[in-house]
């Protein structure tokens, strides 16, 4: 009988498909072709509060592997089973999240890939501050309903702001319908720069956020180049599609019989800085040649 | 069904309706999988 992978995504099918395609490429690299020798059941879960029920359903259905491609999805799957192998794709530190005991030797039924995008949030603050040395007040945008991810990010960012002697306002948003109100707060608080947090609602709303940062003249940084490509100022992060590909490779290896407890957590190694020079000019920011030289992509 | 599901491609081999009951019907079955929104 064909093995079945339960694939949990935090995105809609349309947003999530490029990621799922990368996951399938990874599976294929280790010999699994969907429809030929493996089946994937896709769960597109934009409602975080339904994750426990969905994870429990996958356990009940005895899928062979759960591929949980979000932090909340991975935590829900972990709570649902200690026997079915779970391969996660997360942006956070899986040890601090409690997903694994040790990066090199996970020791349970859970292992996977971290793109380290949350760990890079302080670096994003640092890069933004480097462009805006006179700004003493920054803001950080986070989704409080994605609780584990939000708490983790806020902790990291407050500590980074303290280290740099910056005042940081943590602004909450639950989705695109809040964005206008958030930007009213940003103006009211006289924020010099904005770091956009990690999470599906930001992936979903990135074009609107880019438009709002341009409209309100707010220098901002995000994790993916989709932001500067849409008219935002800059981005710094890892190649997330490669993380999904690696999660596919790990899923295939577990299907072949490898023990997740003995598969070290894979970590992103390639990070990219993208800057929209046209937006910088409109915002009145001069991007020093040293930073331009460090950028992997300059959008003009 | 929501959106351009044909983009997902011919990879679905599972009968989603079989386990829909587990979710109390409060989800959309699509050719791309089950969507909870």
- Top pLDDT among B17 and A111 is at A111
**What is the arithmetic mean of pLDDT over A149-153?**
88
Residue B16 has pLDDT above 90, yes or no: no
Window A:141-200, CB contacts with B under 8 Å: none
pLDDT on residue A149 = 84
Residue B8 has pLDDT above 60, yes or no: no
**What is the arithmetic mean of pLDDT over A66-86?**
96
pLDDT on residue B20 = 52
Q: What percent of chain A has pLDDT over 90?
A: 84
Contacts of A20 in chain B (CB under 8 A): 8
Q: What is the dihedral of CA A132, A120, A246, A5, to 10 degrees?
A: -110
Query: In angstroms, rounded to a whole number, what is the distance separating the alpha carbons of residues A246 and A19?
Result: 11
List, for residues A16-35, the tens digit of each pLDDT value: 999 999 999 999 999 999 99
ipTM above 0.95, yes or no: no
pLDDT on residue B19 = 52
Dihedral over Cα of A157, A162, A168, A172: its sign = positive
Subunit contact B19:A50, Cβ cutoff 8 A? no
List, for residues A254-271, the tens digit of each pLDDT value: 999 999 999 999 998 889
Q: Tell me the average pLDDT of chain A.
A: 94
pLDDT category at B26 given cuts 50, 70, 90 is low
Chain B: residue whose CA lies nearest to A61: B19
Subunit contact B37:A47, Cβ cutoff 8 A? yes
Stretch (H or E) spanning A53: helix A51-60
Q: State the smallest CA–CA distance between residue A44 and chain B in angstroms.
A: 5
Residue from the list A4, A14, A39 with its beta carbon closest to the beta carbon of B3: A14
pLDDT on residue B9 = 37
Query: Could you tell me if A18 lies within 8 Å of chain B, comparing CB atoms?
Result: no
- Top pLDDT among B5 and A141 is at A141
Residue A159 has pLDDT above 60, yes or no: yes
Subunit contact A44:B4, Cβ cutoff 8 A? no
Structure tokens at B21: 């009951």
CB-hemisphere CA count at 13 Å for A255? 30
Residue B12 has pLDDT above 70, yes or no: no
Query: In angstroms, rounded to a whole number, what is the distance separating the alpha carbons of residues A281 and A296?
Result: 19
pLDDT on residue B2 = 38
Structure tokens at B13: 């081999």
Structure tokens at A172: 């909450």
Residue from the list A42, A50, A60 with its beta carbon closest to the beta carbon of B33: A42
Query: In angstroms, rounded to a whole number, what is the distance separating the alpha carbons of residues A141 and A125?
Result: 12
Write out the E strands in chain A.
Answer: 4-9, 39-45, 65-68, 86-90, 110-114, 137-142, 167-172, 193-196, 220-222, 234-238, 266-267, 271-276, 297-299
**A146: burial class by Cβ within 10 Å (0-12, 13-18, 19+)?**
buried
**What is the arithmetic mean of pLDDT over A241-249?**
95
Residue B11 has pLDDT above 80, yes or no: no
Residue from the list A17, A45, A47 with its beta carbon closest to the beta carbon of B7: A17
């Amino acid at each position: 009988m064909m093995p079945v992978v339960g694939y949990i995504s935090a995105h809609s099918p349309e947003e999530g498909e490029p990621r799922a395609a990368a996951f399938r490429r990874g599976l294929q690299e280790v010999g699994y072709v969907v429809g030929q020798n493996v089946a994937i059941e896709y769960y597109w879960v934009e409602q975080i509060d339904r994750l426990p029920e969905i994870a429990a359903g996958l356990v009940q259905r005895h899928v062979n592997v759960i591929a949980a491609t979000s932090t909340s999805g991975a935590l829900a799957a972990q709570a649902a089973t200690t026997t079915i192998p779970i391969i996660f794709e997360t942006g956070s530190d899986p040890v601090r999240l409690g997903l694994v005991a040790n990066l090199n030797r996970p020791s349970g039924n859970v292992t996977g890939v971290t793109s380290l995008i949350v760990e890079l949030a302080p670096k994003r603050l640092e890069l933004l501050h480097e462009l805006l040395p006179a700004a003493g007040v920054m803001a950080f945008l986070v989704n409080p309903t994605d609780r584990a991810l939000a708490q983790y990010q806020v902790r990291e960012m407050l500590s980074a702001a303290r280290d740099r002697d910056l005042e940081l306002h943590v602004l909450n948003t639950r989705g695109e319908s809040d964005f206008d109100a958030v930007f009213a707060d940003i103006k009211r608080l006289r924020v010099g720069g904005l770091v956009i947090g990690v999470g599906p609602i930001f992936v979903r709303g990135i074009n609107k956020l880019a438009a709002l940062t341009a409209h309100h003249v707010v220098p901002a940084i995000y994790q993916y180049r989709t932001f500067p490509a849409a008219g935002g100022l800059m981005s710094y992060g890892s190649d997330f599609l490669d993380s999904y590909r690696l999660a596919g490779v790990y899923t295939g290896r577990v299907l072949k019989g490898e023990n997740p407890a003995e598969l070290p957590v894979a970590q992103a190694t390639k990070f990219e800085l993208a800057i929209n020079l046209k937006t910088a000019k409109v915002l009145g920011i001069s991007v020093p040649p040293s930073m331009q030289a460090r950028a992997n992509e300059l959008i003009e | 069904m929501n959106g351009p599901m044909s983009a997902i491609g011919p990879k679905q081999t599972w009968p989603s309706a079989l386990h829909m009951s587990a979710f109390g019907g409060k989800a959309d079955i699509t050719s791309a999988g089950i969507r909870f929104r």
